[in-house]
Chain A
Amino acid sequence: MMSVDSRLAWQCRRGMLELDLLLRGFLDNGYEQLDASGRDAFERLLKTQDQTLFEYFMQNKLPKERELIDVIEQIRHAAQT
């Protein structure tokens, strides 16, 4: 289990501070509560380019896929609580 978490934690290291805080914050506080499809969506989100992720979170330019939108909303929500 440890190595999976570390692997994901390293994938949360990005080129922008805002993404580091959002993604790592969610991994520590929120990811555990996701079901299998939510976790899968999070891992797919991590494969997205930094600039696009920034636009998802900060400019409300959302992807089409429902599962990705859900996890983006949850990451945002986690950051504000």
Chain B
Amino acid sequence: MTLAVRKFDTLVIGSGGGGLRAALQLSQAEANVAVVSKVFPTRSHTVAAQGGINAALANVLPDNWHWHMYDTVKGSDYLGDQDAIEYMCRAASHLVYELEHAGVPFSRLDNGKIYQRPFGGQSQDFGGDQAARTCAAADRTGHAILHSLYQQNIRAKTHFFDEYFAVDLVKDEQGHILGALTIEIETGEPLLIEAKTTLLATGGAGQLFCNNTNAHINTGDGIAMALRAGIPVQDMEFFQFHPTGIAGKGMLMSEGARGEGGYLVNKDGERFMERYAPHAKDLASRDVVSRAVATEIREGRGCGPDGDYVLLKMDHVGEEVIAKRLPGIRALAETFAGIDPAKEPVPVSPTAHYTMGGIPTNRYGQVVAPVDVGEEAIPGLYAVGECACVSVHGANRLGGNSLLDIVVFGRAAGNHIIEFLKEHRYHRPMDQGSVDKAMVNLHRWDRKGEGETVGGLRGELQQVMDDYCSVFRTKEILTEGVQKILEIEKRLNNVYLRDHSKIFNTARIEAMELVNLVDLAVATMISALAREESRGAHSRMDFPERDDKHWLKHTLYYKEGKRLDYKPVRVKPLTVESFPPKPRVY
């Protein structure tokens, strides 16, 4: 049977804010754009970003983009690339106004200007008083941005392939990316989408961990596709954890609970944060609290039959305060833990939240890989958003910077692609060998036999990541973790599907997601073992200090040979002075 083929100027894989912002830029420039999404576009994970988007509008307190840049560099623990960070912070105000014009209903001040709230890590005057930099559309900012962009794309005649799953990139022998092999989930029919340019915007990989805050769709598909196409992935050891997720479920009990007077206790009823952060106690920064919780659990002071969580105590705050100020937290605890926090403490443990690492790109969204000297763009391939590593977040992302990242670099990638298309007017010849290779990865799941299940192996993988690659990392733990994850990688070959039907065979999609997760778990674990320092979200108990002399550099992991390489951090901004590394004290 012949393979169905469609041709477009640009193929965008993923329909969150990053993909849709790029698609809009392109469709408005009259490029022929296809967006492929495995779920209906407005069900992308961007909707979960309720907090807001940072821009130095100075509507509430004095502010400017340069202070925002300083905070972002410092927040990144100096691993962020300062050219990209300058570009993002300078562009922020313009992009927020653009979103406003696209229909995002930002919350207002009495004077009619956009309201801005203070968030952690924001300062005035390079580390001075608290700044107020986060613009929000009530608590539905991500939803409002995603819906506005989706509607604008419909108007601009972007072509949507809803409920199509991208299997693999296709490329020719000269290394040009030619599009991707996809599969229509409803019919099970493969479709080859040829494109002069391909943009990966598939989001993060929170599903690597058992305890995570991410939607089930966040399986890192684009990052894994890049790895299989021979492209290294960058800084995968940097995964942001939030200290208080509901134990065993993962969803956030936000800082609000502790802000209103809630605190953490271990199995002895001890308020242990007093030992770790005598001053800030339970309101210390996320990484400090996460490490403290992990240490309590590790040292046998966790609660419950397996001693694998601590308790978030709020009952002393009082029924009235909880009903008035924390109704959302109460509803989450009641629904997912069966506990009313006004009466009983809630079991919590650290939960994986955000993938700082990803596909290496420059500030135009072009995917880049090392050559003999320096690095070169992979022709025809772009990446933006959480799946990319540009790197504006470095070792630790600040709240309010992820929505900014996706719109700034979505637009930048769109603009660069427009220029690229002017120079590359025709599709390159398809490379049949590359298509055949992708088809093998698809048809692998037609094999019949007895063996392991997708769900079983995914569960084990997530447990290994929780046990060996979470907040508490040492050489010993990670070495064992690498062994365990490599065993899981071997066992993948023995996974079989029971259902081989074509129509809506979601088991096959979940199997391909598992393959993606396994590739990324190996990348994360090996990168984490190698980095012998503590920086941002990567904290090594055996190397507790940041080591700029040896480790102020980006990790690159290659699937072939499972080898590591490193590249320098871009410490030179576009126009201003560089911010040299200093201790990160708040």
Binding site for B on A (CB under 8 A): 2-3, 6-7, 9-10, 13-22, 24, 49-51, 57-60, 76, 79-80
Q: Are B332 and A10 in contact (CB under 8 A)?
A: no
In the complex, the answer to whether A13 meets B331 with C-beta atoms within 8 Å is: no
Cβ of A15 and Cβ of B503 under 8 Å apart? no
Interface residues of B in 214-232 (CB under 8 A from A): 214-217
Look across to chain B and name the residue whose beta carbon is closest to the beta carbon of A4.
Answer: B504
Residues of A within 8 Å of B163, CB to CB, are 10
Q: Is B553 in the interface zone, CB < 8 Å from A?
A: no
Q: Contacts A13-B215, A17-B214 given; 13 further ones with Cβ under 8 A?
A: A9-B506, A10-B185, A10-B504, A15-B39, A15-B45, A15-B46, A15-B48, A15-B215, A17-B250, A18-B251, A21-B336, A24-B216, A79-B336
From residue B118, how far is it (CB to closest CB) to chain A in Å?
Answer: 23
* Interface contact tally, CB-CB below 8 A: 86
Q: Is the CB of A50 within 8 A of B42?
A: yes
CA distance A22 to B249 in the complex (A): 11
CB neighbours of B328 from chain A (8 A): 58-59
- Bound form: Cα–Cα A14–B214 in Å: 10
Q: Check B217–A21 contact: CB distance below 8 A.
A: no
Residue of A nearest to B48 (CB): A16
Interface of A, secondary structure class, is helix
Out of A13, A17, A22, A79, name the residue touching B43 (CB < 8 Å).
Answer: A13
Which of B185, B331, B507 makes the CB contact (< 8 A) with A60? Answer: B331
Residues of B within 8 A of A19 (CB): 215
Residue from B336, B338, B505 within 8 A of A18 (CB atoms): B336
Also in contact, A17 and B335, with CB within 8 A (given A3-B501, A51-B140) = no
12 residue pairs A–B, Cβ–Cβ below 8 Å: A6-B505, A10-B163, A14-B47, A15-B39, A15-B47, A16-B215, A17-B215, A17-B216, A50-B42, A50-B143, A58-B328, A80-B338
Q: Are A17 and B48 in contact (CB under 8 A)?
A: yes
Contact of A17 among B44, B143, B186, B212 (CB under 8 A): B212
Q: Which of B47, B143, B249, B499 is within 8 Å of A21, CB to CB? A: B249
Q: Which chain B residues lie closer than 8 Å to A51 at the CB level?
A: 47, 140, 143
When chains A and B are docked, how far (Å) is the Cα of A19 from the Cα of B39?
14
Kindly report which residue of chain B lies nearest to residue A5, judged by CB atoms: B504
Is B47 a contact partner of A50 (Cβ separation < 8 A)? yes
Q: A17-B212, A17-B215 are contacts. A57–B45 as well, Cβ < 8 Å?
A: no
CA distance A81 to B43 in the complex (A): 27
**Using an 8 Å CB-CB cutoff, how does the interface string of B40-60 with A read, 1 for contact, 0 for none?**
001111111000000000000
Chain A minimum-CB-distance residue to B250:
A17
Contact check, B331 vs A58: say whether CB atoms are below 8 A apart: yes
CB closest residue in chain A, given B146 = A15
* Interface contact B503-A3, CB-CB below 8 Å: yes
CA distance A38 to B147 in the complex (A): 29
